[in-house]
Structures are given as C-alpha cells and as structure tokens.
C-alpha cells in the first residue's frame, strides 16, 4: 500500500507541475498593435509672450477633447473619449498628456513629445498606465496631428502595446 501512495504522490506532483507550466503561458502578457484615427477639438488655449523681441517667443498651453476610432474596428479604444492637455514653447516643440476613456470607465494614459509640421504636429507617444482592464499597460509609438481648421484636428495614432 505504501508503494501506491508514493506513486500517487509523484503523479500528483507531475500533474501540478505540468498544469503550472501550461497555465503560466496562458497568463503571459497580451501584446498588440493599435492604429486609430481621432477627431479633436481645441477647447482651451492660452499663450504667454516673452517681452520685446526675445528669441524664445513665448509659451502656449491648451486642452483638446474628442473621440478616437480603432482602424481595425477592434474593441481596443474604439469610440473612446479622448482628451489631451498640452504645452509648447515658442518653436512649437512640446509635450502632452493623453487620456483615453472607454464607455465602461476603463482608461489608458499616455504622454507625448512633439514638434511642429507644416500642417500640424507629430511625435512620439508613450503609454504610461491605465485603469480596469488596462491597468499596467505599456507601449510606445507615434502620433500625427493635422489641423483641419483653427479648432478641429485629426490625430493619427499608431503604437504597439503590452498588457500584463
């Protein structure tokens, strides 16, 4: 009887180890690629000009509000509320904070660094976290803003991301 108990013990140990190894790979991080197009509207803008003919020109800051669409029509950030808070120096180079909020309240947070282009601005995006289903998200990629009018902009977003 002791022999069979020993075999059962080893069989159970092997089964638990096998299950742990298999399930460990299922719980691996989820990686993906996102490409989206957003429409944004300038909701606030202010500018501080340097005195006289200072070469720095001044600084600007603003807020934008809009909606983003997932190009692949996948659920990730599709039709998410999109908010941007930004600041820039006299040359137009600057940085921002981006917040994407899904219908259920889950959020993705990003920061960006950009530079001016003849039609708007472009630069890098770094995902810095999230809430709910997006808690712990990381990633990076690019954005390209095109001015449609003095108040409306398109934002093309393209990045790779990873969820824990």
| Rounded-to-integer distance, Cα 110 and Cα 124, Å | 10
Q: Is residue 65 part of a domain?
A: yes
Q: What are the pLDDT digits (tens) for 78-132? A: 999 999 999 998 888 899 999 999 999 999 999 999 999 999 999 999 999 999 9
Q: What are the pLDDT digits (tens) for 6-46? A: 544 444 444 333 443 344 434 568 999 999 999 999 999 99
Q: Is residue 3 part of a domain?
A: no
Domain membership of residue 150 as a residue range: 30-49+58-163
CATH number of the domain at 98, please: 2.40.160
pLDDT (0 to 100) of residue 151: 95
| Rounded-to-integer distance, Cα 49 and Cα 72, Å | 43
Do the Cβ atoms of 161 and 139 come closer than 8 Å? yes
pLDDT (0 to 100) of residue 16: 39
Q: Is residue 134 part of a domain?
A: yes
Please report the beta strands in the chain, taking only residues with DSSP state E, as ranges in sequence order: 30-49, 58-70, 80-89, 94-101, 107-117, 120-130, 138-147, 152-163
């Amino acid at each position: 009887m002791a022999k069979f108990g020993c075999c059962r013990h080893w069989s159970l140990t092997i089964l638990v180890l096998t299950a742990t190894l298999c399930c460990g790979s299922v719980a691996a991080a989820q990686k993906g690629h996102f490409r989206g197009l957003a429409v944004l509207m300038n909701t606030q803008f202010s500018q501080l000009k340097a005195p006289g003919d200072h070469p720095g020109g001044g600084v600007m800051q603003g807020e934008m509000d809009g909606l983003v669409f997932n190009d692949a029509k996948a659920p990730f950030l599709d039709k998410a509320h999109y908010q941007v808070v930004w600041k820039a120096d006299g040359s137009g180079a600057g940085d921002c904070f981006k917040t994407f909020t899904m219908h259920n309240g889950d959020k993705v947070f990003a920061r960006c660094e950009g530079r001016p282009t003849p039609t708007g601005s472009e630069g890098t995006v770094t995902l810095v976290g999230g809430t709910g289903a997006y808690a712990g998200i990381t990633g990076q990629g690019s954005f390209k803003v095109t001015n449609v009018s003095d108040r409306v902009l398109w934002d093309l977003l393209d990045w790779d991301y990873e969820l824990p």
